[in-house]
């Protein structure tokens, strides 16, 4: 029998659980690494406040990544941060929740962190030749999860709340990889259509049964003999299962987070073939693709408006910097073809598509995808988001004018390779961002990061004035906002995955201020943020050059 649809309250409960699971995937390895290096001993020392300089000195840690880690705990509400001397001095103190959490969580986190090397390959163990390596430890951890990890719930409301947070973190380290494995194999889709016999699923039955036991304890599936069905909450969890994809894709990085914090911060990011070592890129693309559908609807509205203008006011085509596998360009082509006036006259006024990407493998895949889709008039070329002048030159060699194109990019600006601002005197800008950033472990201060972002956007301003720049971007939240809204935002997980992988999230208002200072004006008709509140971590902006 089909389960009923979840009510709004149940959906909110599931979302809150997912956000807690994602936070756990990030926090558990970080807290364990800090615990092993006795950082919590420093924070529990005789002085209420412990300076960042003192933590770096005692741990011999990499300052930039330590800042990322300490900001994570601040955003989670376990630390308070005090900033003085114009942002040059930072000190930290444990909150009451932090005292309770750090006294209980580290040994429990250690249990699940030891499973990370196996969780990275859970799909392979579940559907591959053997599950002998993963099964015993998974069975033991699932039994621990079903028993609540041994955490008491009767020590007062404050302690109970912290214990519940820790339980969700521990569960998330198992549920996240499990949901990704089931979703990518199409099993959640099958369950979404009705009950499924476990024996009909081509997977190792013992490991599969273990995973379904875990999800049953979460209240997301019901098992009756050989039959499994989704509950109402499980139906919604399955629908949003891609939400786990991006965070789980960074498990290889969190497997070495102790090295990033306290060892060699320049550990290899790529193998000899150019394959990324610290992120499962295929899983990352899958996860982000599922999450981005909502944002693309707003992008479609903007593109439709542009290509419904009089022909002499339309761009010749679209240029996607950081085109990846070409999916975004493919999508935009069919939006124009099927939903705009321009689409009716493509035989006379062809739409030129340009995909630019730094990654050679991505360029090859993009060419194959666009060719397979039957899309004409496309070019896929090398591109560096930090070098728009080079893009203009490369387009000129193709007989194209960079100014004749609509420029788009999807979640790329925060992932630009870092270039230290030349001749910049640290402290000459008044920093406003609360973010924490690193470049191979070295700290980037807020004023320098904002100057870098300003110069980055200013380099683009001369090239996008005619038809504009359409940007989807990811943002951070101030720790005080994140800490008071943990069940309503995935900001903690975003900050962890991006902070340790040298990506540069800033708050939405600061991003817009830097764009304005760079000479890029956001069209208010086409501005959108998700969610539409102070918790916005994603924005869509259509920029034109000019004040």
Cis status, amide bond into 531, omega within 30 of 0: yes
What average pLDDT score do residues 364-373 get?
96
Residue 74 lies in a domain: yes
Higher pLDDT residue, 300 or 9? 300
264 in a structural domain? yes
Using a 10 angstrom Cβ sphere, with 0-12 exposed, 13-18 middle and 19 or more buried, the burial of residue 85 is exposed
Q: What percent of the chain has pLDDT over 90?
A: 88
Q: How many domains does the chain have?
A: 1
Q: 157: pLDDT confidence band, cut at 50, 70 and 90?
A: confident
| Residue 3: predicted pLDDT | 60
Cβ-in-10-Å burial (0-12, 13-18, 19+) of 346 comes to middle
For residue 44, the enclosing domain spans 8-281
User: Per the domain annotation, does 95 fall within a domain?
Assistant: yes
Residue 256 located in a structural domain: yes
For residues 116 and 106, give the distance between their C-alpha atoms in angstroms, rounded to a whole number. Answer: 15
Give the pLDDT confidence of 11-27 residue by residue, as tens digits.
Answer: 999 999 999 999 999 99
* CA 122 – CA 235 distance, rounded (Å): 22
Helix and strand counts by DSSP (H, E) for the chain? 24, 16
3-state secondary structure of 479: helix
* Residue 353 belongs to a domain: no
Residue-averaged pLDDT of the chain: 95
Residue 7: per-residue pLDDT: 81
Position 155 in a domain = yes
Q: 197, 227 in Cβ contact below 8 A?
A: yes
* The pLDDT of residue 18: 98
CA angle 412, 392, 475 (to 5 degrees): 15
Chain segment 141-153, per-residue pLDDT in tens: 999 999 999 997 7
CA 211 to chain centre: 25
In a domain, 277, yes or no: yes
> Which residue shows structure tokens 């360009």?
329
Find out whether 65 and 441 touch, Cβ atoms under 8 Å: yes
pLDDT at 547 over 60: no
**pTM of the full predicted structure?**
0.95
pLDDT at 274: 80
Could you report the per-residue pLDDT of 258-312, keeping only the tens digit for each?
A: 999 999 999 999 998 888 999 998 899 899 877 777 888 899 999 999 999 999 9
Burial 156-184 (b: 16+ CB within 10 A, else e): eeebeebbebbbbbbbbbbbbbbbbbbbb
What pLDDT, on a 0 to 100 scale, did the predictor assign at position 2? Answer: 52
Q: Tell me the C-alpha distance between 426 and 449, whole Å.
A: 10
Would 462 be classed as within a structural domain?
A: no
8-state DSSP, 491: H
> Tokens representing 29?
């390895």
């Amino acid at each position: 029998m089909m389960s009923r649809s979840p009510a709004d309250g149940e959906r909110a409960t599931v979302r809150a659980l997912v956000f807690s699971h994602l936070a756990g995937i990030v926090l558990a390895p970080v807290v364990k690494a800090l615990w092993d290096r006795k950082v919590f001993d420093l924070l529990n020392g005789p002085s209420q406040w412990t300076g960042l300089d003192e933590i770096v000195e005692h741990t011999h840690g990499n300052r930039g990544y330590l800042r990322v880690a300490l900001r994570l705990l601040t955003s989670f509400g376990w630390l308070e941060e005090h900033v003085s001397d114009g942002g040059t001095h930072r000190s930290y103190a444990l909150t009451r929740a932090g005292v309770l959490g750090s006294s209980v969580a580290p040994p429990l986190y250690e249990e699940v962190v030891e499973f990370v090397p196996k969780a990275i390959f859970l799909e392979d163990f579940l559907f591959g030749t053997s599950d002998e390596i993963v099964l015993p430890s998974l069975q033991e951890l699932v039994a621990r999860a079903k028993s609540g990890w041994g955490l008491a719930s009767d020590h007062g409301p404050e302690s109970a709340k912290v214990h519940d947070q820790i339980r969700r973190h521990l569960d998330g380290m198992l549920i996240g990889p499990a949901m990704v494995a089931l979703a990518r194999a199409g099993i959640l889709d099958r369950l979404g259509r009705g009950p499924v016999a476990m024996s009909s699923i081509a997977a190792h039955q013992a490991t599969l049964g273990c995973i379904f036991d875990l999800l049953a304890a979460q209240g997301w599936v019901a098992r009756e003999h050989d039959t499994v069905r989704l509950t109402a909450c499980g139906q919604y969890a399955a629908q949003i299962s891609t939400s786990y994809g991006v965070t789980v894709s960074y498990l290889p990085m969190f497997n070495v987070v102790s090295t990033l914090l306290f060892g060699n911060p320049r550990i290899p990011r790529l193998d000899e073939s150019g394959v990324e070592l610290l992120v499962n890129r295929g899983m990352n693309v899958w996860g982000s693709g599922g999450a981005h559908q909502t944002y693309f609807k707003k992008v479609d509205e903007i593109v439709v408006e542009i290509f419904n203008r009089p022909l002499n006011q339309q761009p010749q085509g679209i240029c996607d910097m950081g085109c990846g596998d070409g999916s975004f360009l493919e999508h935009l082509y069919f939006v124009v073809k099927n939903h705009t006036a321009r689409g009716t006259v493509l035989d006379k006024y062809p739409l030129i598509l340009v995909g630019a990407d730094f990654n050679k493998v991505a360029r090859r895949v993009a060419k194959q995808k666009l060719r397979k889709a039957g899309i004409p008039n496309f070019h896929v070329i090398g591109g560096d988001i930090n070098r728009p002048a080079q893009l203009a030159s490369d387009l000129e060699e193709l007989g194209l004018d960079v100014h004749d194109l609509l420029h788009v990019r999807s979640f790329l600006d925060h992932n630009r390779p870092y270039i230290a601002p030349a001749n910049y005197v640290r402290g000459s800008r008044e920093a406003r961002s609360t973010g924490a950033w690193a470049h191979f472990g070295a700290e980037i201060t807020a004023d320098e990061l904002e100057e870098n972002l300003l110069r980055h956007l200013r380099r683009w301003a001369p090239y996008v004035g005619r038809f504009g720049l359409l940007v989807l971007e990811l943002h951070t939240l101030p720790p005080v906002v994140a800490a008071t809204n943990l069940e309503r935002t995935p900001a903690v997980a975003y900050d962890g995955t991006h902070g340790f992988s040298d990506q540069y999230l800033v708050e939405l208002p600061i991003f817009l201020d830097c764009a304005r200072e760079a000479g890029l004006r956001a069209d208010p008709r086409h501005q959108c943020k998700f969610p539409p509140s102070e918790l916005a971590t994603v924005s869509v902006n259509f920029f034109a050059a000019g004040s």
